[in-house]
Amino acid sequence: MEMDATILIRVMIQIQFPIEKLKGSFEIRHLEVCQMPDLNNKTDMKRFVFFISTFSSMYFCVDVMAINVAIFSDPPKTEVRAYYENVFKAENHIMQNEVDSALMCYNIAESMNIRMMIDIRNISVCLSRSDNDDVKISLFKTRYSQTNDTVTISQFISWVSSFLSDEGVEHLRTELENIKKQNSVDNIDYQELIEKLESMGKDDQLFRGESSFSKAELRQRKKIDSRNMRKLMKLYSDYGKFLTYRLFGGGFSGYEIILIHNFFDKKKYLKYNDFFIGEILAGRLDAREYAGIVDNYRFDSTQVYGCHTVFSVGDSLVVFQLSDSGKRKINSNRKSVFLQDIDVMQNKMIWQWRNFDSFWFENVWELIPAFSNETATDVAKQKLKEMGSIVTGYEILSR
């Protein structure tokens, strides 16, 4: 049975990849961001359930409105930088409980024809918490202007009316009558692309898990990883420069895990890194997601973006202080892809960790001690040694 994409879907899909063992006596469990599949390709906007699953089986569910926007040409680098700058301003307002100001910043960001899934989710939370119709109508006008010509005013209003008062709905209807659409369309079959990435993601898991594998099976795993990487690059050749935020369902999860497992090999990371940096600079790949991919296995001094200078152990959060040289290196790398300095990022992660049931800015990893008697301090001491000269110490916080 075909489901109407305008209906709020309450189905939850949990995508979890097996635990990957690291050096030492610890295991990492990556918090996955999961998205609902595209159930109706004929519309350019859908409401879907976005949730974050952790390996403790805790779910956080919110209503999300997303607009599929494609652009004929890449936005200039200055616009991509401005997108992130406005998003980060919005996040600062969120942390001050200023959701209306946050929505105004998000509106400026979205006016640049750039979308990132993390921000789409946070915008939806802001919309649900705001009582200011004028601020929301301004955002909806921007979004409507970027929908396909087949989306009528009535259709659009039916998707957003739950965020507005009755008076606000009528005001929006009047405002939309004067909006000229940008007619931004591409010819990419995202549903087909998603299905291929999902299939590749399943292949990735054939020889992974908590079981022991023979040397022959491990060689087969490497072959699959290499084959998947070649397939991923061919998808770019076959489909063109696609927008990763449109990879619903297991699409982005497949995309992400292929890169994570291939980038464990430093030679492959160096071979392909420039290409994916180019996707970030073009506004098609979220720099925050890519930073997490690159640093996924790097809990030592080789981490590029400092993603693991903050991580949780049970109910504790470990925050590392960086050395001057470590901070220079990591901040230089972060700045090159529009990310904020590591000090700002760490403060945001502390806020996010303490307000985990509201907004989500970046992934925070959880380290699970291999033995029940090991504490957050035990984990922190080991990682302090592994991170070497890039850090000088750590702080352990509790909720």
**pLDDT tens-digit profile of 325-366?**
999 999 999 999 999 999 999 999 999 999 887 899 998 899
Beta bridge partners of 21: 27
**Mean pLDDT for the chain overall:** 83
Spatial separation of the C-alpha atoms in residues 93 and 316, rounded to whole Å: 26
Band (pLDDT 50/70/90 cuts) for residue 251 is: very high
Least confidently predicted of 202-206, 213-217, 253-257: 213-217
Amino acid at 351: W
d(CA 182, CA 197): 30
Domain boundaries defined on the chain: 68-176, 187-295, 307-398
Q: Say what percent of the chain tops pLDDT 70.
A: 80
> What's this model's pTM, rounded to 2 decimal places?
0.82
Question: Mean pLDDT over residues 100-107, rounded?
Answer: 98
Burial of 146 (0-12, 13-18, 19+ CB in 10 A): buried
Asked if residue 355 lies in contact with residue 94, where contact means CB atoms within 8 angstroms, the answer is no
Check residue 43 and give its pLDDT.
Answer: 34
Interval 245-249 mean pLDDT: 91
> 42 pLDDT exceeds 60?
no
> What is the mean pLDDT of the segment spanning 171-176?
97
More confident residue, 40 or 268: 268
What lies within 8 Å, CB to CB, of 336 at 6+ separation is 277
pLDDT tens track for 149-160:
889 999 999 999
Spatial neighbors of 242 by CB under 8 A, at least 6 apart, are 188, 190, 193, 235, 236, 284
What is the chain's alpha carbon radius of gyration, rounded to the nearest angstrom? 21
Q: How far is CA 369 from the centre of its chain?
A: 26
Residues 6+ apart with CB under 8 A from 140: 156, 160, 172, 176
Report yes or no: 248 and 38 within 8 Å, Cβ to Cβ: yes
Contact residues for 229 (Cβ-Cβ < 8 A; gap 6+) = 258, 262, 268, 272
Backbone dihedral angles phi then psi of residue 29, each to the nearest 5 degrees: -125, 115
Summarize pLDDT for 282-322 with one digit per residue, the tens. Answer: 999 999 999 999 999 999 999 999 999 999 999 999 999 99
